[in-house]
């Protein structure tokens, strides 16, 4: 069951596609729904995507496709056929439409991952434009990588790590771990004999072992951006 804002957003996306053949930008969606930030739009998009109402076209940003509509969101067009026919009807209606253009999402940039401060201590410092196609569902933030402890995983000093905010992760995933509520680090997470092991991706460094209560997962790696000078 969709919320009122989710209903409003999917109606707006569908109307924009019908009128122009181009999915609306995040700025247009923010203004249409009277939201304070684009992050609110991103959360609504993610919720609709998880419920199967929309999907992002691969390898492109500003590229949303309405897969199905709630029954009260057809907006004057013929009511979709039931079951699987509803999907094919929605897709056929957009046949021949121009391909959507790219879109950019502003994600919070929290600072340098090896700065030795908790993520919360530097939150809201600035933001960073990121192609929406690099981000999946969920809330994200960016961190500038400092140091060479993850070079064998292809993560270098000065890179920007795109992090999906979460407080749990599976063994073998690269996470942002907050140790003793003081120092944030980007490492492989593994659990070993009742302890938490943070593994670097550089043979010159040793793994770090901690009691579970000393380590808090604050996110896991979702993508990487690199600037070439």
d(CA 80, CA 74): 8
Catalytic choice (16, 38, 164, 187): 187
Catalytic residue selected from 16, 23, 149, 220: 149
Q: Is 149 a catalytic residue?
A: yes
**Residue 187 annotated as catalytic:** yes
Q: Is 162 exposed, middle or buried (0-12, 13-18, 19+ CB in 10 A)?
A: buried
Q: Could you tell me which of 187, 194, 188, 185 has the C-alpha nearest to residue 172?
A: 188
Cα separations in angstroms, 11 against 67, 74, 85, 113, 140: 12, 7, 19, 40, 25
- Report, as residue numbers or ranges, the catalytic residues: 149, 187
């Amino acid at each position: 069951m969709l919320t009122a804002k989710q209903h409003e957003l999917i109606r707006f996306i569908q109307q924009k596609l019908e009128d122009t053949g181009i999915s609306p930008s995040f700025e247009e969606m923010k203004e249409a729904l009277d939201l304070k930030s684009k992050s609110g739009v991103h959360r609504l998009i993610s919720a609709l995507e998880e419920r199967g109402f929309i999907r992002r076209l691969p390898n492109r940003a500003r590229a949303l496709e309405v897969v199905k509509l709630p029954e009260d969101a057809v907006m004057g067009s013929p009511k979709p056929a039931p079951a699987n026919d509803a999907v094919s009807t929605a897709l056929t209606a957009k046949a021949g439409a121009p391909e959507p253009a790219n879109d950019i999402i502003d994600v919070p940039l929290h600072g340098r991952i090896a700065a030795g401060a908790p993520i919360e201590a530097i939150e809201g410092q600035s933001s960073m434009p990121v192609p929406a196609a690099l981000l999946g569902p969920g809330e994200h933030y960016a961190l500038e990588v400092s140091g060479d402890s993850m070079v064998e995983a292809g993560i270098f000093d000065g890179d920007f790590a795109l992090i999906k905010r979460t407080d749990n992760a599976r063994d073998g995933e690269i996470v942002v771990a907050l140790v003793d509520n003081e120092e944030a680090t980007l490492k492989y997470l593994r659990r070993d004999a009742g302890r938490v092991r943070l593994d670097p991706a550089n043979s010159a460094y040793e793994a770090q072992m901690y009691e579970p209560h000393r380590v808090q997962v604050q996110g896991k790696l979702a993508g990487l951006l690199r600037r070439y000078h």
